[in-house]
Amino acid sequence: MLVAKGLRKTFHGQQVLKGVDFTADPGELIVIVGRSGCGKSTLLRCLNGLESFDEGEIAFGDLVLKTGPDDRQTRALRANFGMVFQSFNLFPHLDLLGNLVAAPMIVKGMTRAQAEAIALPLLEKVGLAGHARHYPSQMSGGQQQRAAIARALAMAPKVMLYDEPTSALDPWLVDEVFDVMRKLDAEGMTQIVVTHETRFAREVAREIVFMEEGLIVEKGPPSVLFGSPKDPRTIKYMSKFAP
Amino acid sequence: MKISILLLVCALGAHAAPAKTLRWGGDSSGGAPFVFQDPKNPAKTVGFEADLAEALAAELGLKPEFVQNQWDSLVPGLKRGNYDVVINGLEITEDRKAEVEFSDPYYLTYEALTVAKKDFGVASLADLKGRRAGTLKGALAERLLAEAGGITVVGYDTQTMLYDDLANGRIDAVLMDHPAAVYYGIDERLKNLPGQFGRMAYGVAIRKGDAKLLAQVNAAIARLMKSGKLREIYERWGIWNPVMAAAFTDDKPGQHAEPTELEAYLAARGVKLGWRASFSKYASYVPFLAKGAVTTVQLSLLSMAFAILMGLALALTKLYGPKPAALLATVWVEFIRGSPLLIQLFFIFYGLPTIGIKLQPFTAAVLGLAINYSAYEAEVYRAGIQAIPHAQMEAALALGMTRWQALRHIIIPQALRVVLPPTTNDFIALLKDSSLVSVITMVELTRVYGMLAASTYDYLGIGVLTALMYVLIGLPFVRLSRWAEARLAVEKRPRLS
């Protein structure tokens, strides 16, 4: 179970997180929604230590990350998370297989053969089996993002974090990425997704978290948040996405 | 990396024990007849002072070994122990006597005036009022010209260029040591005037405190004088003069020896060659130039390798090091980048011995070039690493890599392609800057050119040949860099449909 308590963060004199409590149970698929600048990406990045925070703590199993720089603890925590970025961030100098085997070899000290034994089935899983020797620049955005998911999975994370994974994609490429995430959900992967795609949120999410101005305003199942939200701020935001 | 530099310093810095040799310093780019490269066999160092060194060494029961150094630096080089004596037209002056010991004079001479043939009106220094006269910097002649008054004095570094400029009309007269006039004033466009100006004595310079060697050298000179061997050498070179005759109380009429060396030199220089003969003449210079080129390549490759390593370390320190270290790296880079390489080389070679660090010329040259270029590389690599989007670092960290792992496996390999062209550029620049190390006794390509040109009086032909060699050395590296760049450019591969 992932538990974040009382997270606060100030960035250039502006409070981006004003005391956020957040919980994710194993196997859940949580979608965080909210306007740009509401702090949802910052929250996601805090969860795997890419962003530091000023107050609060993050606990995952026995691991507890408190404020202040602690590289050891941060990396130990990070080992449980896979992260997928809006702009894919594949390594352009490596082919797809190279992208997938890099971290297992460098971080876990696997041999190339061991790493490939993990990587090749993952490429197949995301539908890129024939592209192992292709470079990121040769692929479409949807293919790159699926490869990025496979790269994260190669480190065998327990939780997957997605930071607006389809925002940089052409509309007709969005579904191929979401299909992979649906597949992972079916396998029981815990997934936390920041996205503006309400259709995906409505159809797949177990829980919707609505954030505004650095706070979690309301959370609950999609039917409740989309159908009958309680907080006026949620109502105002959701009114834009009438079914 | 620091350790490997240290090892290099130790390996090359170990002082070679002076076996039974007399190491004598001189500058063979000074020109005839002092010490110069034989125009017929450029690998051979000849001159009346080379003959003298040989005779002296024989008297002392030693083998002569010539050590090349730039004329300005002959005394500093002696003091730091690069050679045992200096024999190269060093005039015995009070200033120099404060620095080193001098033997009894081995040669006495005077300044001689050379003018262009068209200037028949000039007969004395007084006639030069309002005109331009050239001589070597810091020589007695410079003082004489200044004292004459009203003459614009132009200082030169090498005597060959003096007479060249006189013939080309850039200056109106040359006042130089008589032996130089004998060799370079003989030109259909020039005329040596008979007057003698001033008196000067050349002595063998020896380190202060080397009293035993000083006594031995003085005794040897006296024996050579008495036996007539010294006079024979000077006569062969055509520079025996009345002052010598008077001082050596050797006024026997007639000559002991024919001026064979002078005639051979003038013959070698004066001959007009057909293209076939010219070709074989230049071909005969190639092996000597190639030897210099090998030194240049060795120096440049080794220096660049160290510069790349040090530059990378500096760049990483600036970007990721703790604040004080980053600041120190910045200050160091600015300091090294902001000061002339020449001064750094002098500092390392002639400055460091005063605090007990005495490096061999090759080591000092590599160190100087490597340190200088590491500052430039540091900035190139800093920019190259910063050109890689920060998202790449984040992606690597998110996968569990440490910052160092991310740098080594993700960031630096990508930056490599960015920095390849400027690094190649710097290597080509270093290749050429390596010519500066001739100031610390290294005989590399440019120094060989200077030596050859001074003795053959052919700055044009050998100059073109030397420039061509630099280009040829650089080209393969340019090609290699292009090839590597193309291979690394995976981003440019065609998009799949």
Tell me which chain B residue has its CA closest to the CA of residue A71: B402
Which run of H or of E encompasses A65? strand A63-65
Rounded to the nearest angstrom, the minimum Cα separation between A137 and chain B is 6
CB burial class (10 A; 0-12, 13-18, 19+) of residue B254? exposed
Q: Which of A91, A138, A139 is the closest to B392 by Cβ?
A: A91
Backbone angles phi, psi at A93, to 5 degrees: -90, -5
B398/A contact by beta carbon, under 8 A: yes
Distance CA B233, CA B56 (A): 12
A2, β-bridge pairs: A24, A60
Cβ–Cβ gap A78/B397 under 8 Å:
yes
Rounded to the nearest angstrom, the minimum Cα separation between A84 and chain B is 8
A212, β-bridge pairs: A215
Distance CA B257, CA A189 (A): 104
Give the closest residue to B193 by CA, choosing from B206, B205, B176, B210: B176
Cβ–Cβ gap B414/A91 under 8 Å:
yes
Helical residues (DSSP H) of chain A, grouped into ranges: 40-47, 71-78, 96-108, 112-125, 141-153, 171-186, 198-204, 222-227, 232-238
Cβ–Cβ gap B398/A106 under 8 Å:
no
- Tokens coding B15: 């002082």
Give the closest residue to B414 by CA, choosing from B403, B422, B406: B406
Q: Which of B395, B400, B413 is the closest to A89 by Cβ?
A: B395
Q: Which residues of A touch B401 (CB under 8 A)?
A: 103, 106-107
- Tokens coding A124: 């197949």
Residue B167 has what pLDDT? 86
SS3 state at A210: strand
Cβ–Cβ gap B398/A138 under 8 Å:
no
Q: Which of B391, B405, B414 is the closest to A93 by Cβ?
A: B414
A222/B contact by beta carbon, under 8 A: no
B258/A contact by beta carbon, under 8 A: no
B489/A contact by beta carbon, under 8 A: no
Q: Which residues of B touch A102 (CB under 8 A)?
A: 399, 409-410
Tell me which chain B residue has its CA closest to the CA of residue A86: B391
Residue B252 has what pLDDT? 60
Cβ–Cβ gap B391/A87 under 8 Å:
yes
Q: Which long-range contacts (CB under 8 A, 24 or more apart) does B247-255 make?
A: B247/B105, B247/B108
Give the closest residue to A136 by CA, choosing from B304, B493, B308: B493
Residue B145 has what pLDDT? 87
Cβ–Cβ gap A107/B490 under 8 Å:
no
Residue B11 has what pLDDT? 43
Question: Tens digit of pLDDT for each residue in A45-67?
Answer: 999 888 888 999 999 988 888 87
A151/B contact by beta carbon, under 8 A: yes
Q: Are B55 and B86 in contact (CB under 8 A)?
A: no
Cβ–Cβ gap A135/B491 under 8 Å:
yes
Distance CA B167, CA B156 (A): 15
Give the closest residue to B316 by CA, choosing from B304, B325, B303: B325
Cβ–Cβ gap A48/B398 under 8 Å:
yes
Residue A33 has what pLDDT? 92
B99/A contact by beta carbon, under 8 A: no
B488/A contact by beta carbon, under 8 A: yes
A165 cis-preceded (ω within 30 degrees of 0): no
Residue B280 has what pLDDT? 80
pTM of the model: 0.77
Q: Which residues of B touch A131 (CB under 8 A)?
A: 496
Digit-by-digit pLDDT tens for chain B (497 residues) are 444 444 444 444 444 444 589 999 999 888 889 999 888 788 889 999 999 999 999 999 999 999 998 888 899 999 988 899 999 989 898 888 999 999 999 999 999 999 988 776 777 788 888 889 999 887 788 888 888 888 889 988 778 888 888 888 889 899 999 999 988 888 788 888 888 888 889 999 999 999 999 999 999 999 998 888 888 999 999 898 888 888 876 656 555 778 888 888 888 776 666 777 778 888 888 888 999 999 999 999 999 999 999 999 999 999 999 999 999 999 999 999 999 999 999 999 988 888 888 888 899 999 999 999 999 999 999 999 999 999 999 999 999 999 999 999 999 999 998 899 999 999 999 999 999 998 888 888 998 898 888 777 788 889 999 999 999 999 999 899 888 888 888 766 676 65
CB pairs under 8 A between A and B: 76
Tell me which chain A residue has its CA closest to the CA of residue B487: A93
Tell me which chain A residue has its CA closest to the CA of residue B399: A103
Q: Which of A83, A102, A152 is the closest to B409 by Cβ?
A: A102
Rounded to the nearest angstrom, the minimum Cα separation between B397 and chain A is 8
- Tell me, letter by letter, the H, E, C secondary structure of B8-62: HHHHHHCCCCCCCEEEEEECCCCECCCEEEECCEEEEEECHHHHHHHHHHHHHCC
10-residue mean pLDDT profile of chain A (243 residues): values are 91 90 93 91 91 90 78 86 95 95 95 95 94 93 95 96 93 92 94 91 91 92 89 88 63
Tell me which chain A residue has its CA closest to the CA of residue B414: A93
B413/A contact by beta carbon, under 8 A: yes
Q: Transcribe B71-125 into DSSP letters.
A: GGGHHHHHHTTS-SEE-SS-B--HHHHTTSEE-S-SEEEEEEEEEETT-TT--SG
Q: Which residues of B touch A71 (CB under 8 A)?
A: 402
Cβ–Cβ gap B409/A78 under 8 Å:
no
Q: Which residues of B touch A106 (CB under 8 A)?
A: 401, 405, 409
Category of B386 on φ-ψ map: left (φ > 0), alpha (ψ -120 to 50) or beta: alpha
SS3 state at A112: helix
Q: Which of B400, B414, B490 is the closest to A135 by Cβ?
A: B490
A90/B contact by beta carbon, under 8 A: yes
Question: Tens digit of pLDDT for each residue in A142-168?
Answer: 999 999 999 999 999 999 999 999 999
Percent of chain B with pLDDT over 70: 92
ipTM of the complex: 0.94
A10, β-bridge pairs: A15
Residue B293: how many other CB atoms lie within 10 Å: 19
Tell me which chain A residue has its CA closest to the CA of residue B492: A137
Residue B14 has what pLDDT? 42
Residue B249 has what pLDDT? 65
Cβ–Cβ gap A138/B496 under 8 Å:
yes
Q: Are A14 and A65 in contact (CB under 8 A)?
A: no
Cβ–Cβ gap A138/B494 under 8 Å:
yes
Residue B253 has what pLDDT? 56
- Tokens coding B33: 């007849």
Cβ–Cβ gap A137/B410 under 8 Å:
no
Suggest the residue from B399, B409, B418 to mutate for an interface test with chain A (most A CBs closer than 10 A): B399
A81/B contact by beta carbon, under 8 A: yes
B392/A contact by beta carbon, under 8 A: yes
Cβ–Cβ gap A106/B496 under 8 Å:
no
Identity (one letter) of the amino acid at A221? P
Identity (one letter) of the amino acid at B16? A
B93, β-bridge pairs: none
